[in-house]
Amino acid sequence: MKEFKVSHLLRYSLLLFFLIPYAIFLFYYKFSIDIDLSELLWALKNTLTQSTLTALIVTALSIPLSQGLILLPERLQTIVKRLLIVPQILPALYSILIAFSVLNPFPMGTMGIVFLFVLIDLGFATLMTYSVTTEKLGNMSVIGEVYSLGRLNFFKKIYFPLLKQDLIVNFFIIFIFCLSSFSIPLIVGGGRGTNLEVLIYEKIFVDQNWSAAFSLCAFQAMAIFFLSFFLLKNKQKDSEPFVAGNYLKSYVGLGVIIGYLGLYLGGYFIGLYKSFFYISFASMYVWDLYDAAIFTGKALAVYLTVNFIILVLWLLDYLNNKKFNLATNLISASTVLVGFTLYLAFPVTREYDLIKMTLAMSILFFPSLFKLFLQKPIEDLRQQILVAEVYGLSKPQIIIEIIFRQISKQMLLWVSFLIVWFISEYAVLKSLGVQTQTLGLVTEGFLSSYRLPLAYLMSFFILIYWVGALAVVSLILRVAYVAYKKLTI
Amino acid sequence: MSHIKNLRFKLDNFELDIPELNIPETGVTAIQGSSGSGKTTFLKTLIGLHQPSGWSWIFKGEELSRLSISKRKLGVVFQTYDLFPHLTAEENIFLILKARHEEQNHNEMHKQLQKYKSQLNLESCWKTLATNLSGGEKQRVALLRALVSNPRMLLLDEPFSALDSDLRVEARRTVKELIQQINIPVYLITHDQEDVNTLANHVIKMKAGKITQ
């Protein structure tokens, strides 16, 4: 009975942790409709236009691109798949820099936002479409060829009818990512591309109109919850063995993949190369950079410790209940909502910056990064976990000896992205009202004032900082594991 | 006799319905049935993976149905063996040995371990990573793991189905010799008549979730 209560307490405590912003919101929210309707409709129109256009474009393009991917031999396919996910998981900062270099002058407003969203999400959408194609179509393309169906007919009669539902789900995944995006519209929206998130931000920090901000937050939260409902059902897919017939291969798709990756990666390196000629300008900011780097390092240490504790508690909860916490579905929480509620809950002074940053970014990043890197590898260990339980291994032993030891590579990736998302983040910090300069905020300052070469140099510095931080964390984890083994022998 | 009562459990479109069942507390009891008869669901319930309400399982005077998975102290060899692939054969065994035995009993268990290890012919692959073991070696390591875990009973879930037919004959003989040395009951889940003929002292037949014999 006691164990029963403790496991329930853990489960609900974890869920409540990730719902803190909504709890604070409900605490402060006094129901009053204080919205300028024309302003809301205009922001809503922008939001829907940006999200719908992006989702349509990337979903449509993902079809030929996934066929380009299928064309590749397995080893090359693995490399290209990893490259395709890079724009999605790298901080938005890098995509903005690349976009600014590629399109000069950059079209600020809705078109610019859509361009950036497409740049970021196209690779990810391609991988989603590739995944559903290989899981669901089995041998059908070959059979279509054997019976001379023709490519067009195959797509009309087989491909789209079978994959229609999955493509719609993919559309909504991208739609929701765009809907709740704040960092891109903040920099690139200008005045004309203001979406709901930016409007909320402006109500708080520019107009000081909190009741309007609350009303908009409530509206947006309901929209995201409603749409996310489509994604909450994690259906088990029975995958057929896949055979890549010619109807599912496309050289045009492959060409577009090469162009896309070339644009993204090549665009960054060319921009970075050009920025090295401006290093002397960067020397004016050396001491600001030094202070920002020191504070970022301290905050990072606290943040990683907290996330590690959350991970252990998350796994204990999983071992108790044999399924992941419901909070794993909170992958697209509103940045401004989270930032604003913590801005309200804590004093706006430097002393509280560290707590606010740690809380906000843990709530925002943990569920999505866990889902991206760790959820499936841990689910794949389900049978081994059962065997370990049957043989009486304790939960800490199962976590360390069975789970951590077998997913160490995925954990390294997870930590790696916890670090880079944290150190390059600026949008969340602005909505938190953080007073101290961080590496992300310094970079955003350069970006917003169109000092692109300095922003590039900062982005490169962040990459070096990232590698250094990861090396330190890896060393600490190795030492900790050796100490643990010595203690338990 | 081990006594099971009121075991009723619905899973998707399948229903396990065992109002009453007595299983001998010695020897090998084969639970035999074709694919889909409910053997695996029954096994998972005994392990504790499924937790139907209102049923009872009394073994040597102790109510096991209320116990958690680890407290039931079973030794299980799954069809897929499920060794920990990142550990050597040795590490797979010692991990369980430490978990299941009090420290004062370690020496005694080590002696038993050496004896079983020799009988199962595991010296040559003892330091090999589990992921690199052959099918037959995995089966023997999984069996050794079950034997040294100090179980109150052994559950063998189609333990030979993943082996080639020529290996199966030898594996059955090895398992039979080992079982005769231990003083705990063995429940053998199988669809294979040869398994039953070679190993079983008692047979329980299942069909569509019910006991038929």
Is the pTM above the cut of 0.90? no
Is B96 part of the contact surface with chain A (CB cutoff 8 Å)? yes
Confidence at residue A32, expressed as pLDDT on a 0 to 100 scale: 61
Confidence at residue A228, expressed as pLDDT on a 0 to 100 scale: 67
Question: B97: closest CA among B105, A109, A22, A39?
Answer: B105
Percent of chain A at pLDDT exceeding 90: 49
Find the chain A residues whose C-beta atoms sit closer than 8 A to any C-beta of B: 3, 383-384, 386-394, 397, 401-402, 405-406
Partner residue facing A383 (CB), from B70, B71, B82 = B82
* Two structure tokens written together for A381: 């260990």
Question: A333: closest CA among A297, A309, A369, A301?
Answer: A369
pLDDT digits (tens, 9 = 90+) for B125-144: 999 999 899 988 999 999 99
Interchain contact, A391 vs B80, CB within 8 Å:
no
All domains of chain B in start order, with CATH: 2-211 (3.40.50.300)
Q: How far is A215 from chain B (nearest CA, A)?
A: 44
Interchain contact, A390 vs B80, CB within 8 Å:
no
pLDDT digits (tens, 9 = 90+) for B110-119: 888 898 999 8
Partner residue facing A386 (CB), from B49, B68, B85 = B49
Interchain contact, B70 vs A386, CB within 8 Å:
no
Closest alpha carbon within chain B to A3: B68
Closest alpha carbon within chain B to A382: B82
CATH no., domain A1-28+277-489? 1.10.3720
Partner residue facing B82 (CB), from A3, A384, A393 = A384
Confidence at residue B35, expressed as pLDDT on a 0 to 100 scale: 84
Confidence at residue A231, expressed as pLDDT on a 0 to 100 scale: 61
Confidence at residue B103, expressed as pLDDT on a 0 to 100 scale: 60
pLDDT digits (tens, 9 = 90+) for A25-54: 888 776 666 667 788 888 888 889 999 999
Distance CA A264, CA A266 (A): 6
Fold: same for A1-28+277-489 and A32-249: yes
If you average pLDDT over residues B45-71, what whole number do you get? 89
* SS3 label, residue B11: strand
DSSP string over A324-374 = --GGGG-TT--HHHHHHHHHHHS-SSGGGHHHHHHHHHHHHHHHHHHHHHT
If you average pLDDT over residues A14-24, what whole number do you get? 88
The residue that leads in pLDDT, B33 or A140, is B33
Length of chain A counted residue by residue: 489
Is B97 part of the contact surface with chain A (CB cutoff 8 Å)? no
- Cβ-Cβ contacts under 8 Å, A393 against chain B: 70, 95-96, 99
Instruction: Name the region of A488 (left: φ>0; alpha: ψ -120 to 50; beta: rest).
Output: alpha
**What's the CATH architecture for A32-249?**
Orthogonal Bundle (1.10)
- Cβ-Cβ contacts under 8 Å, B148 against chain A: none
Rg (CA), chain A: 24
| Mean pLDDT for chain B overall | 88
pLDDT bracket for residue A197 (50, 70, 90)? confident
Interchain contact, B99 vs A389, CB within 8 Å:
no
The neighbouring-strand residues paired with B18 are: B7
Interchain contact, A397 vs B99, CB within 8 Å:
yes
Mutate one of B95, B141, B154 to test the A interface: name it (highest A CB count within 10 A): B95
Between positions 146 and 185 of B, the ones with CB within 8 A of A are 149
Interchain contact, B82 vs A387, CB within 8 Å:
yes
Partner residue facing A391 (CB), from B48, B49, B99 = B99
Is B105 part of the contact surface with chain A (CB cutoff 8 Å)? no
Whether residue A2 is predicted with pLDDT greater than 60 in this model: the reply is no
The residue that leads in pLDDT, A289 or A232, is A289
H/E element, B1: none
Is B145 part of the contact surface with chain A (CB cutoff 8 Å)? yes
Q: How far is B95 from chain A (nearest CA, A)?
A: 8
Rg (CA), chain B: 17
If you average pLDDT over residues A431-446, what whole number do you get? 91
**What residue ranges do the domains of chain A occupy?**
1-28+277-489, 32-249
Q: How far is B63 from chain A (nearest CA, A)?
A: 17
The residue that leads in pLDDT, A208 or A105, is A105
Judge contact between A366 and A410, C-beta under 8 A: no
Partner residue facing A390 (CB), from B74, B80, B85 = B74
- Cβ-Cβ contacts under 8 Å, A384 against chain B: 82, 84
